Amino acid sequence: MELAVIMLENTADNQELSRQIRDFHKKKGQPLAIRFSEELTHIILEAPCLYIPDPAQLDPRTIVDGQIHESGGHGEIHPRHKGKTVNLHLDSELVAELEQIRALVSSKTQHEVIRELFVRGMRAYLAEKEGEQSE
């Protein structure tokens, strides 16, 4: 699995930022690995998706391996080579169901939410097919 990575200089400000990122990950229930370079000169944060309370806090000297996206008042850094973007045209019922799922599982990733949407859709479709066959 590819990881998004941030490498910060080991300064007091960046240590505080690392704590904020760690706490943000705990609040969202998402994994985060924190380690230091061998010389202890850099703090390295790694996760499948890094959540940052405010991307403006990142120092210009920060090394980011991934793509930064703004999302709901915070920043998300996704691995550079993760997946493909797919544009779907959904009818209003599916959009409503997606919003309902998001409200119920706000701590899950977009990938998990869409997978659950497709599973629910397939179950509904199969239930309709079985209903048609039994009539």
C-alpha triplet 14, 20, 24: angle, nearest 5°:
145
**Mean pLDDT of the region 107-125:** 82
Whether pLDDT at 134 is above 80: no
The reported pTM is 0.57
Pick the closest to residue 47 from 8, 80, 4 (CA basis): 4
Q: What is the pLDDT of residues 60-93, one digit of tens each?
A: 888 888 888 887 778 888 888 756 677 777 788 8
